[in-house]
Amino acid sequence: MNRRTMLGGLGAAGLAGLAGCLGLVGMDKHESSPAGVNADVRDETGYEETDVDGITIEEEVGVGGVSETIAVTNYVTEHEKAVEIPPIGSQRAAVFSVLTSPQIGVADRNVNPIEDMSAAELVDLVADNYDDIGNVSHEDDDEISILGETTLRSRFSADATFDGHDLEVDVHVTEAVDAGDDLLVTIGVYPAELRGREKDNVLALMEGVSTDRDDETGDGTDDENGTSDGDEGETDGDDGDDREGNDTDADDGDLLENLD
């Protein structure tokens, strides 16, 4: 499965919302900051921060005969945990992701549509952009506090393929919360048979999200230039600043891997 494609879908959705907005001149680049989970919560739940990806989506938009290229950089901070899955054995099949996407203001309003997307819309976007996940079904909703803001947390069941084996998974998605200059969404995935343990861990990770991320994974670059790996729709996320964790690959064979 491909977490990067999911991010590309979210980024493209954000850019589509900009196409009809006025006042784009001079607002051509937007970048979020990576967020993570407090170290003590990671330790308690057994999850390890493994990857930070910066994904830049570019699109040319036109307003009143004037066109300009808009670039939006989203970040995802990935956390993984090895769990036992019969008959596969111990695999990094429990994954928790923290996505940040920049708030983009035009005429005193945010035009990034992620702000208003429901959990059902977010999980549909995830499923639409994964080759190996389908048959998504809504199971339950509840409220949860992230960064001091109460938001909706929804659980979905889905069919997935992992290491050649069919597997039922739980997918937890939260609706976007305000993270300063960014919007923040969390996504937790684990084998459904481990729900009795991993559901509580995912909820703890959500509540333990922090914008003050400790740099456990280093600078997150694959090479000295920090360039992307050439996935379709992605560009070099390095806009000349020193943002952390730009564009990494952690080829561990987990539920959200196998890059296209």
- Give φ, ψ of 70 to 5 degrees: -105, 130
Looking at residue 62, its pLDDT comes to 64
Q: How many CB atoms lie within 10 A of CB 142?
A: 10
> What is the tens place of the pLDDT at every residue in 96-137?
999 998 887 765 666 677 888 899 888 887 776 555 778 899
User: Tokens 């879908």 belong to which residue?
Assistant: 9
Which distant-in-sequence residues (6+ apart) come within 8 Å of 150 by Cβ? 143, 144
Residue type, 4: R
Q: What are the pLDDT digits (tens) for 19-41?
A: 444 344 456 788 999 999 999 99
| The pLDDT value given to residue 240 | 41
Per residue in 218-231, pLDDT (tens digit) is 444 333 333 334 34
Q: Are strands 133-146 and 149-162 parallel, antiparallel or unpaired?
A: antiparallel
DSSP 212: S
